[in-house]
């Protein structure tokens, strides 16, 4: 058995999702059976992507790419309860005899520290 066939069998048997992806790829290969071996790797991956990814999803993400939104600088909306960006948290300051520090997990409570936001 060829190494590529062993690899395909392994990846197909990992879980049901991998099995479904393998079926979709095999279906795409079979639809181009006469010319599949003559295609370049880039052409093969484009064909596989076009057969697996639904057109409405491609359009959705194409529209997102055209928006001016920076993940590193998200908009601050304090009225949105599901957004933790811009929230004031960890306001309590602990003072010992020798030092003081900010309690990042004090009220109002967030599961994330400042460094994780």
Residue 97 lies in domain = 75-117
Q: Which residues contact 23 (CB under 8 A, 6 or more apart)?
A: none
Give me the pLDDT at residue 81, please.
46
Contact indicator for 56, 71 with CB cutoff of 8 Å: no
**Half-sphere exposure of residue 10, counting CA atoms within 13 Å on the CB side?**
7
Output the DSSP codes for 24-38. Answer: HHHHHHHHTTTTGGG
Task: Give 66's pLDDT tier (boundaries 50, 70, 90).
Answer: low
107 and 56 in a common domain: no
Same domain, 88 and 53: no
> Does residue 108 have a cis peptide bond before it, meaning omega lies within 30 degrees of 0?
yes
Q: What's this model's pTM, rounded to 2 decimal places? A: 0.48
Domain count across the chain: 2
User: Rounded to whole angstroms, how far apart are CA atoms 56 and 60?
Assistant: 6
Tell whether 31 and 61 lie within a shared domain: yes
Task: Note whether 113 and 82 are same-domain residues.
Answer: yes
Q: Write down the pLDDT at residue 52.
A: 87
């Amino acid at each position: 058995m060829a190494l590529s066939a062993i690899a395909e069998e392994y990846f197909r048997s990992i879980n049901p999702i991998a099995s479904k992806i393998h079926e979709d790829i095999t279906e795409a290969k079979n639809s181009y059976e006469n010319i599949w071996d003559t295609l370049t790797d880039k052409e093969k991956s484009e064909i596989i992507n076009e057969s697996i990814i639904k057109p409405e999803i491609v359009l959705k993400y194409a529209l997102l790419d055209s928006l001016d939104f920076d993940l590193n600088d998200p908009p601050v909306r304090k009225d949105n309860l599901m957004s933790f960006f811009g929230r004031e948290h960890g306001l309590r300051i602990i003072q010992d005899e020798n030092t003081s520090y900010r309690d990042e997990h004090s009220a109002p409570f967030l599961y994330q520290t400042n460094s994780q936001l």
